[in-house]
Structure 1
Amino acid sequence: MAYPSPLRKLQEQAEAAFLQYGNDPRPDEGAHPVELAATYGEIEAEYASMRKAVGLLDLCHRATIEVTGTERHDFLNRMVTNQISADTPGRATRAFWLNRQGRIQADLMVLDVPDRLLLDVDIHQVESAVRTLNEFLFAEDCHIADVTQSLCHLGLCGPGAAALLDETMPSSSDSKDASPAAADMKPGQIALRQSPGRAQPIILERRDTVGDVGFRLLVHPQDVMQIHETIVEAGLNAGLRTVGWLAYNIARIEGGTPLFNVDFGPDTLPHETGILDQAVSFTKGCYLGQEVVARIQSQGKPKRVLRGLKLEGQHMPITGSYVWNVDDPNADPIGIVTSSTPSPMLGDTVIAYAMLKTSGGDAIDSTVYVQAEGQVSKARVSPLTFWPRPEA
């Protein structure tokens, strides 16, 4: 995504409030901070749109790496934690890029589209991921490049997302270019939408991050304003709203979506993320850091793991709040909170993610105690997903 977002002026006209996303790890290299639309003034309505209709997000905190060449699948498969195969075109695969110590350098979604692989990555990791992946290239027919300036990331979330996509950008009836309707796409499936006059096809990916149907759209910057306007105009009668980060953050915590650089990061091992089954294959060949991953798998558990928490009462913990396994704030903490929110789908119960020591109280349904607004609140350890939609 270009700096700033191509939609920035439109967001300012809508009187959006903005917030800075994360801490750029390259402050001395002239890097630009990333600002996200925090809210368009009605957080509750923005949230409700993702639960009852459809919400549209500008995901300008996402970057894109392009991998091309005849050996692109083989090379990337030898680098990352999940299976990347030329036998599964049109699929999106989550994987981690590790260092030699087995710690996560980048959390990737690998999109297998015609003639290239696209790696969706946090914008603060794109430069280091490109650099470190290139360090392992030797004589392979493979080229790795940062193409963030050439693709904008949009998100559609909610029960009406598929119908809206099929209305605004229907699948081709030409058998040569046929791709599935959005309503028929399964999680991880990719489809292309061709249209005369656009700089390049729109890439659709089914990705459910809020406990309901969701899609990611990768759009050329020249086309993003027109695509955005088309979706908004068509969605007005369907209850669509443009959604800011604050509303999305509530929904993604409910929906079981921890984020790199928020809930886990470069000091984290795959087993600690709570999403090991999504991003790691134990049947594929070797990759960087595999020895560490295999050793932890054979030992049975890591030293810590990301868990969900359901708190009693209405006191809200903040990022970094301590968690104890006894009702004593003078005791040694067993973990810290990484994200928290009141959950509208659970009657405003306070929910959170926390990185907990596995030696002290990470078991599901265990009772723990959480630092929250100057109080100590009782909580129950839970899985990361608090609200799945059964038919999503």
Structure 2
Amino acid sequence: RIEVCGPDAAIFLHSQTTNDVQALDSGQGHASASLVPKAHLVATYSLHRLEDRYVLLGDSCRRQALGEHLEKYHVSEDLQIADHTEESAFLLVQGPRSGSLLQRLWPEEELPSQEHAIRPFGPGGEDALIVRRSETGESGFLLVGTPEGIQEIQGRIREAGPDFDHVEISAEVFEILRLEAGVPRWGEDMDETQILPETGLEQQAVSYQKGCYLGQEVVARVKTYGAV
């Protein structure tokens, strides 16, 4: 969980990521990536806009590399980059009844309706968030909050689970569902030796209409000519 805030945050992220940051309204998000100039991957993630900041959510194993990459190209822009991964906890709630379950437990909370949409989520603790996110091929949500807040949410879901056919799955089962859904994972399906078009993510994570960003020339060349 890396957050970027400040007057120049949108312009900076627009130049450092593959998707169209400036097209996002508050509460919206999209798949994106950061690349080196030759288009090799630094990290893939979802990027979300809130009223006062942008939130990048990706594989925790790449947070240091991504943070260092952003800081490297942060020169004079008026912004702050902060890594909040250590003080955050994450919970995936997936399946066709996930929204009904969360709405039953927290009727006062408005759930995001579009993929990658984001909203504050009070039950998760200070600065907690809920993101519409599918990791298994079915609709679902990613909850981001304090460890205490997420633990409390998980406890309430367990209590209500029987009414919604709730099942907690192992990492092995999740891996099977992820693979069946075609959701790539860092270290398993892609790494820094690959260029973005080799991952298949360019359909969701690239805007071909936006201005320049690191690696754009190579990505555009592959789209136009089918080769580097």
Task: Tell me if both proteins adopt one fold, taking TM over 0.5 as the criterion.
Answer: yes
The answer on 1:79 being equivalent to 2:16 is yes
Q: Which residue of 2 aligns with 1:90?
A: 27
Deviation at 1:251, TM superposition (A): 1.0
1:285 aligned residue (203, 211, 216): 211
Whole-angstrom distance in 2 between the partners of 1:118 and 1:160: 26
Whole-angstrom distance in 2 between the partners of 1:105 and 1:170: 39
The answer on 1:230 being equivalent to 2:167 is no
Give the number of aligned pairs.
Answer: 228
Whole-angstrom distance in 2 between the partners of 1:109 and 1:87: 12
Deviation at 1:82, TM superposition (A): 0.5
The answer on 1:239 being equivalent to 2:176 is no
Higher relative contact order (CA 8 A, sep 6+): 2
Q: Which residue of 2 aligns with 1:381?
A: none
State the secondary structure of the residue aligned to 1:126. Answer: helix
Contact 1:171/1:181 (<8 A) preserved: no
TM-score (norm: length of structure 1): 0.55
The answer on 1:189 being equivalent to 2:126 is no
Change (3 A) 1:87 1:297: closer
State the secondary structure of the residue aligned to 1:191. Answer: strand
User: Where is the strand percentage greater, Structure 1 or Structure 2?
Assistant: 1
Q: Which residue of 2 aligns with 1:295?
A: 221
The answer on 1:162 being equivalent to 2:138 is no
Deviation at 1:192, TM superposition (A): 2.1
Query: CA offsets, 1:276-299, max 9 Å, x none?
Result: 111111000100111111121221
Whole-angstrom distance in 2 between the partners of 1:201 and 1:66: 11
TM-score (norm: length of structure 2): 0.93
Q: Unmatched 5+ residue regions in structure 1?
A: 1-63, 173-179, 303-392
Letter of the aligned partner of 2:159 in structure 1? E
Contact 2:48/2:117 (<8 A) preserved: no
State the secondary structure of the residue aligned to 1:163. Answer: helix
Whole-angstrom distance in 1 between the partners of 2:11 and 2:108: 31
The answer on 1:68 being equivalent to 2:5 is yes
Letter of the aligned partner of 1:111 in structure 2? H
Letter of the aligned partner of 1:265 in structure 2? D
The answer on 1:271 being equivalent to 2:203 is no
Letter of the aligned partner of 1:138 in structure 2? V
Root-mean-square deviation (CA), in Å? 1.7
Whole-angstrom distance in 1 between the partners of 2:12 and 2:206: 17
The answer on 1:107 being equivalent to 2:44 is yes
Contact 2:111/2:130 (<8 A) preserved: no
Contact 1:158/1:212 (<8 A) preserved: yes
Deviation at 1:126, TM superposition (A): 0.8
Change (3 A) 1:231 1:193: same
Change (3 A) 1:94 1:87: closer
Q: Which residue of 2 aligns with 1:136?
A: 73
Query: CA offsets, 1:196-230, max 9 Å, x none?
Result: xx631531111122121111111112312211101
Whole-angstrom distance in 1 between the partners of 2:164 and 2:227: 46
Contact 1:170/1:181 (<8 A) preserved: no
Whole-angstrom distance in 2 between the partners of 1:296 and 1:251: 30
Deviation at 1:113, TM superposition (A): 2.0
Whole-angstrom distance in 2 between the partners of 1:257 and 1:112: 23
Letter of the aligned partner of 2:101 in structure 1? L
Letter of the aligned partner of 1:106 in structure 2? A
Deviation at 1:87, TM superposition (A): 4.6
User: Where is the helix percentage greater, Structure 1 or Structure 2?
Assistant: 2
State the secondary structure of the residue aligned to 1:148. Answer: coil
Q: Which residue of 1 aligns with 2:63?
A: 126
Whole-angstrom distance in 2 between the partners of 1:65 and 1:104: 17
